[in-house]
Amino acid sequence: MKDIKYNRRNFLHKYLKAGSMLAGAGLLLSYSSLSSVAKQLAQSSSSNQQPPKKAVQPAQKNQCDNLSGVSAEEIEKRKKLAYVTKTPIPDSHCSNCTLYLPPAKDKPCGGCMLFKGPVRPDGYCAYWAPINN
């Protein structure tokens, strides 16, 4: 039989390498789960919205949905963060998020620290973070 020599260096090398691989795999899994949640929220928001009616215009449009002054880059950022105007999670909405910027006295809509443009208080995105009191 061949003698197998075990020593601390070989042991540490082998298990540190395995631990690094496991940590990398964990990071990949956590990233993929976050992106899949964001995609699901974006899909649910787009499937919940009704197709626009051609003949009938809504009588009153919410001012917080007006993105006319927002750049295409910022609109894309909103989509990547899976921002929706109505939260799918009842207890998680923009107005109780740490990143929410309340509206100024002369403005009807709030804002967000992550992207530019108007934000509804009852909106939601994938990066919602509860306010810690």
Walk me through the domains of the chain, giving residue ranges and CATH numbers: 7-48+71-133 (4.10.490.10)
Task: Read off the pLDDT of residues 82-131 as tens digits, 9 standing for 90 and up.
Answer: 999 999 998 999 999 999 999 988 888 999 999 999 999 999 999 999 98
What Å distances lie between residue 63 and 2, 28, 29, CA to CA? 79, 39, 39
DSSP string of 66-88? --TTS-HHHHHHHHHTT-BSS-S
Let me know: does 124 contact 41? Beta carbons within 8 Å.
Answer: yes
- The answer, as to whether pTM is greater than 0.85, is no
Q: From CA 57, how far away is CA 71, in angstroms rounded?
A: 25
Which amino acid is present at 87?
T
pLDDT above 90: percentage of residues in the chain:
42
Judged against a pLDDT cut of 90, whether residue 3 lies above it is answered with no
